[in-house]
Structure 1
Amino acid sequence: MITNIYIITAISVIGGTLFGFDLSSMSAIIGTNQYKCYFNQGPHGYPFSDSPDCSGPHSLIQGGITASMPGGSFIGALVSGILTDAFGRKSSIQIGSVIWIIGSIISCAAQNFPMLIVGRFINGLCVGICSAQVPVYVAELAPAHKRGLVVGAQQWAITWGILIMFYISYGCSFLEGTASFRVPWALQMIPAIFLFFGIFWMPESPRWLAKQDRWDDCQEILALIHANNNPDDDLVRLELQQLREACEMDRIQSNVSFTELIKPPMLWRFHIGVFVQIWSQLTGINVIMYYITFVFGMAGLSGNNNLVASSINYVINVVVTIPALLYLDKVGRRPILLMGSISLTIWWFLCAGLMGGYGSLAPPGGLNHIAEESWSITGKPAKVVIACSYLVVASFAPSWGPVSWVYPPELFPLRLRGKAVALSTASNWMFNFALSYFTPPAFVNIKWKTYLVFGAFSFAMALHVFFCFPETAGKTLEEVEGLLKENRAPWRAAAREQDLEDRAMGSPQNEEKREDMVHVESA
């Protein structure tokens, strides 16, 4: 059995890599002539041809193709709450990997729009399951002072999946005919196969085992992960005792159902868990990720220049996520979310100002055949828009990207965690679906004002974080539960100082101090 938390994390977050694979395969492919000709709705219509003038699917159809994956993810995330409570975290992730393989086969063999949409929808079922339950699984295994790092690795895995698949798709764009998009969609099955078999060698969540009254297995895994297989370690005994108390409380409050989440006092924290996922979509990041070739096409880039410039976006996404993984547990969740929101507000409004002030209506057919009736901008303002697009990614990657996966599992008690995180993640995919579907028509209908919308959302989320989001860094999941019951105002200085002290207590440098406290409590 694998017991190193970093190896466990590396295998688990392959579920995030699948999301990244799907996202960038579509991003890189929708701008290629092979894709646009095979799925053509322009003047030349069906069948596939090598015409350089193929316009591809209409904006609404392309929105539907892109949105089918998050649509499936919404359903998958909802179902995952039932799967994880019934079969465990490991089995849920394995079920998701099998579903991914099925969806990839259908997408790879797609002959028309409906078949492609069905394949991507099935892929989405997997992404919904894995995106909801991988963070729960890793959070329930990780020590408190490493939880932000290892759960945040989910986002880093997504960024790697985006980058790797984009370059695979870019390389395949030089293939002739339908192989240019069928090969990438076939290759994306490989990590799912690895995930399915890798999970067999990993431990089950000790908190799920505790919920099933499998206390010997629970203690064994806690000892293996946290204490080099020493079941008598003080920290293991303390965490086991906290788990027993939490499970006992759950039995007293035995009416565990989805409806409990919308009743006081759980409703307040449930709204926070839902909105951290909703806001992560309303940052507009997937406008950049899904439709970066559209955005850069409006800025005058075409062909290989567009694809290469787009790939820089994904490199930034990978690199800039690293600081968040290193400092998320030290700095805390609130400051990182606030800094991300403010910087996103600046870049989106700057893009809107440049597009509105220096842009103009694109010629019929769209600039560089990117989107019909779109907007265009040229010269130095266009270069600044491209730079701002990079800065949007550089602001999202170390803030809302990883925190949106770390935060929800920390907010809820054990009895509700699987269901609550499933619903929170489902809200992510619901808004992902909406934005994926409506972004192409938005570029057509409201043009540059699309940027204003995301700037306004970014400002609103900064206010929401400041007034409503509590700090959870550096505490065990059971300690977070106690903190949330105190109902302290998130922005209070006293609360902030206490949070800093708690995080310091959870750091490796102060492990001896924690052990001393354990001895005092035992005495």
Structure 2
Amino acid sequence: MPSHARIYRISALAVLGGALFGFDISSMSAIISTQPYLCQFNQRGFDERGRCLGPTSNTQGGITAAMPGGSLVGAVVSGWLSDRCGRKRAIMVGSGFWIVGSGLICASVNLPMLAVGRFVNGFAVGICSAQVPVYITEIAPPTVRGRLVAMQQWAVTWGILIMYFICFGCSYIDGVGAFRIPWGLQMLPAIYLGIGLAFEPESPRWLLKKGREEEAQNILCHLHGGGDVNSPFVQRELEEIKATISEEHKHADASWFELFTSNMMNRTLIGVFTQVWSQLTGMNVMMYYITYVFTMAGLSKPGTNDVLIPSSVSFIINVVMTVPALMWMDRWGRRPPLLIGSALMCLWLTLTAIIFGVYSRQPNPGEFASASESMVVSGPAARVIIAATCLFVATFAPTWGPVSWAYPPELFPLRLRGKAVALATSANWAFNFALAYFVPPAFENITWKTYVIFAVFCAVMYLHVYFLFPETANKTLEEIEQIFDDKQPGAIKYLGIPAWRTRNNRKSMIKQENRGSLTSKSEAPETKNSNGVRTATSVEATPKITGYGA
């Protein structure tokens, strides 16, 4: 197997863009229940003990939702920015906006200033979350592509955990430093990301698309040829990418409208719903408002920070349970984690709804600081809720979390990839915005039924994945194109090969990558291709594979 050491290093740097999102999640979830925050942005007055009650539930929802609102705009803009300036430079622009937004948040003295700062931060996250997967996908070989893009989700989980413990330590500071210090420190990874990427290569595919062949060849020879300009491996790869781009140049410049044409609509919907469903699992709601859930389960005494320590357990689980996906996601494929994850999350959400519905009571006046903490459970019922919440996180982490980032960039051709992933990611942030705003008043008004809603979503997404999401693991990006070709034998019009018939043939791809070219189909009897369809393709019709599909 060829060495991919430098590609791993570049990917590890690029996914700091995902860590920024993680910092935002925990910098809000760990702070919203602390007295310095509640007093600085107090709207509801004081309780009988003199404690600040903080913003209303609707206002808190708006503050939280400002970030995904900005991310929605950033993700949409990122498609144009990435196509015009390059994948790497788009990510660097995102890091710059994060630094500005964090400065505004750190210095915020009122709710409008806080909301604007979070919107700017969200704009940065929207750019990075859309274009980091594109950048990595275009430099990664099929056998480790899912693992490398999944590092984005792992970076999110580390961002959540690190910032949460920073916030926990600062929560013992008496005064506004309790939240200003964490909000200021979150600028540091963005500074490192922006400076570090300046010394890394641009996507060679984007460079070739822009006619900068010499630069692209130089990058390819260093990434994939050990520095040898005359490497046959690099030369074959270069020619294949050029052939793909030449074919694409016969068409008009890629437009947003093309994503909704009949031959592209199916994969556009799959990419968009991959991101939408990842939000409708309820995972980010769990992350934003985990302190609310654990407070209702009796893990916090009024006026203390007791809940921060047990809440951190879920973040640790999130980090640890993402590791199996990094190790084995390319072996598992894409479909099995999505199917298993949605089924198990439906189970944990249903169990939580039942326990809250049967065993909870309304809190006494002044018992909790937030109106969104609308239920109280204790004893064995509380322990079941805590366990179900942790199991939910442990299920999401190796399934929908990493796969939702790895899957959409694999679905689209080069000329549309930047815009398509931007569209899919913008859908993620649109629903993130809606849910961040919806959950506080939902907990206040419909209490345990909030969990029922997300359980139903998980059941529906299971069916959607089974019938319409094809397997893309261990296929070149050209082979994935063939999956959606509805003119193949056994294909369905407008859909292509039925999703449930697609397979993950990892062993075959490893052999092909090691050889550096496809085995000629004329040298072997008729076999099943990677889509599960019997084919007998001539040598001329079968492109060589370098393991780095264009």
TM-score (norm 2): 0.89
How far off its partner does 1:518 sit?
7.9
Superimposed CA distance per residue, residues 329-356 of structure 1 (whole angstroms, 9 cap, x where no aligned partner): 1110001111110110100000001111
Instruction: State yes or no: 1:306 paired with 2:315.
Output: no
CA contact (8 A) 2:26 2:161 kept: yes
CA RMSD in angstroms comes to: 2.0
Distance 2:137 2:332 in 1: 18
Cα–Cα, structure 1 residues 362 and 221, in superposed 2: closer, same or farther, change >3 Å? same
Q: Of the candidates 273, 292, 295, which is equivalent to residue 293 of structure 2?
A: 295
Query: Structure 1 residues 377 and 268, CA, compared in 2 at 3 Å: closer, same or farther?
Result: same
Matched, 1:363 2:364: yes
Structure with greater proportional helix content: 1
2:534 matched residue in structure 1? none
> Residue 174 of structure 1 contacts residue 180 of structure 1 at CA under 8 Å; is this kept in 2?
yes
**Cα 1:482/1:230, change in 2 over 3 Å:** farther
**Cα drift, residue 396 of structure 1:** 0.5
**Distance in 2 between residues matched to 1:43 and 1:216, nearest whole Å:** 65
In structure 1, what is the Cα distance between the partners aligned to 2:432 and 2:79?
A: 19
The CA deviation at 1:359 is: 1.0
1:129-186 residue CA offsets vs partner (Å, 9 max, x unmatched): 0000000001101111110111100000000000000000000001111000000000
Of stretches 356-365 and 306-315 in structure 1, the one that deviates more from structure 2 is: 356-365
Q: Secondary structure at the match of 2:307?
A: helix
Paired with 1:229 and 1:52, the residues of 2 have a C-alpha distance of 68
Which residue is 2:8 aligned to?
6
Q: Secondary structure at the match of 2:306?
A: helix
Note if contact 1:361-1:373 (Cα within 8 Å) is conserved in structure 2. no
Is the counterpart of residue 156 in structure 1 residue 163 in structure 2? no
Q: 2:403 matched to which residue of 1? A: 403
| CA deviation after TM superposition for structure 1 residue 222, in Å | 2.0
Q: Encode CA deviations 1:245-265: one digit per residue, 9 max, x unaligned.
A: 221221122241001111111
Partner of 1:416: 416
Partner in structure 1 of residue 350 of structure 2: 349
User: Are 1:504 and 2:507 counterparts?
Assistant: yes
Which of 187, 191, 194 is matched with 2:192 structurally?
194
Which residue is equivalent to 1:489? Answer: 498
Residue 22 of structure 1: aligned partner: 24
The residue type paired with residue 6 of structure 1 is: Y
Give the counterpart of 1:256 among 254, 257, 260: 254
Match of 2:491 in 1: none
Distance 1:66 1:38 in 2: 16
Whether 2:40 is the aligned partner of 1:38: answer: yes
Q: 8 Å contact 1:352–1:451 — kept in the other structure?
A: yes
Q: Does 1:326 align with 2:324?
A: no
The equivalent of 2:547 in structure 1 is none
* 1:485 shift after superposition: 2.1
What's the CA shift for 1:369? 1.8
Helix, strand or coil for the counterpart of 1:228?
coil
Mapped to 2, the partners of 1:391 and 1:103 lie a distance apart of: 34
Which structure 2 residues correspond to residues 214-253 of structure 1 after superposition, within 5 A? Answer: 214-253=212-251
Partner secondary structure for residue 484 of structure 2: helix
Deviations 1:386-440 (A, max 9, x none): 1111111101100110111101110000110000000100000000000000100
- Whether the 8 Å CA contact 1:238–1:518 is kept in 2: the answer is no
Q: Which range moves more in the overlay, 215-224 or 8-17?
A: 215-224
CA pair 246-511 structure 1, distance change in 2 beyond 3 A = closer
In structure 2, give the amino acid aligned to 1:505. Answer: S
Whether the aligned pair in 1 keeps the contact of 2:172 and 2:178 (CA below 8 Å) is yes
Aligned residues between the structures: 510
Is contact 1:363–1:373 with CA below 8 Å preserved after alignment?
Answer: no
Cα separation, 2, equivalents of 1:295 and 1:235: 54
Q: For residues 491-522 of structure 1, give each alpha carbon's deviation from its aligned partner in whole angstroms, at most 9, with x where no partner exists.
A: 02xx32xx32xx22332x66444547389869
Q: Is the 8 A contact 1:63 1:436 kept in 2?
A: yes
Shift in Å at residue 384 of structure 1?
A: 0.6
> Which 10-residue stretch deviates more, 367-376 or 409-418?
367-376
Which structure 1 segments of 5+ residues have no match? none
Q: CA deviation at 1:373?
A: 6.8
Please report how far the alpha carbon of residue 3 of structure 1 lies from its aligned counterpart in structure 2 after TM superposition: 7.4
Amino acid in the other structure paired with 1:38: Q
Q: CA deviation at 1:219?
A: 2.3
Name the CA distance, whole Å, in 2 between partners of 1:52 and 1:323. Answer: 47
Between 303-312 and 174-183, report the one with greater CA deviation: 303-312
Query: What SS does the corresponding residue of 2:266 show, helix, strand or coil?
Result: helix
Which residue of structure 2 aligns with residue 336 of structure 1? 337
CA distance in 1, matches of 2:266, 2:365: 49
Query: Using a 3 Å threshold, how does the CA distance of structure 1 residues 517 and 218 change in structure 2: closer, same or farther?
Result: farther
Report the alpha carbon displacement of residue 239 of structure 1 after superposing the two structures with TM. 2.7
CA contact (8 A) 2:140 2:148 kept: yes
2:102–2:186 contact (8 Å) kept in structure 1: yes
SS in 2 for 1:22: helix
1:372–1:261 Cα change, 3 Å: closer
Post-superposition offset of 1:372: 5.0
- Contact 1:294-1:371 within 8 A present in 2 as well: no
TM-score (norm 1): 0.94
Deviations 1:450-477 (A, max 9, x none): 0000100011111000000011111222
Counting only pairs closer than 5 Å after superposition, residues 8-87 of structure 1 correspond to structure 2 as 8-44=10-46, 53-87=51-85
Q: Say which of 274, 277, 280 aligns to 2:278.
A: 280
What CA distance in whole angstroms lies between the structure 1 residues aligned with 2:484 and 2:250?
Answer: 19
Question: Where in structure 2 are the equivalents of 1:428-447 lying within 5 Å?
Answer: 428-447=428-447
2:116 to 118, 121, 133: 118
Q: Does the CA-based 8 Å contact 2:137-2:149 persist in structure 1?
A: yes
CA contact (8 A) 1:148 1:329 kept: yes
Structure 2 portions without partners, runs of 5+: 487-495, 524-538, 545-550
Q: Distance in 2 between matches of 1:25 and 1:372?
A: 19
Q: Secondary structure at the match of 1:485?
A: coil
Specify the alignment match of 1:474 in structure 2.
474
Amino acid of the residue matched to residue 489 of structure 1?
P
1:290-343 Cα distance to aligned partner (Å, 9 max, x none): 000011111112133311011001000000000011111111000111111011
Q: Give the SS at the match of 1:305.
A: coil
Paired with 2:454 and 2:236, the residues of 1 have a C-alpha distance of 45
Aligned partner of residue 368 in structure 1, secondary structure: coil
CA distance in 1: counterparts of 2:201 and 2:355, whole angstroms: 52
**Aligned-pair distance for 1:220?**
2.2
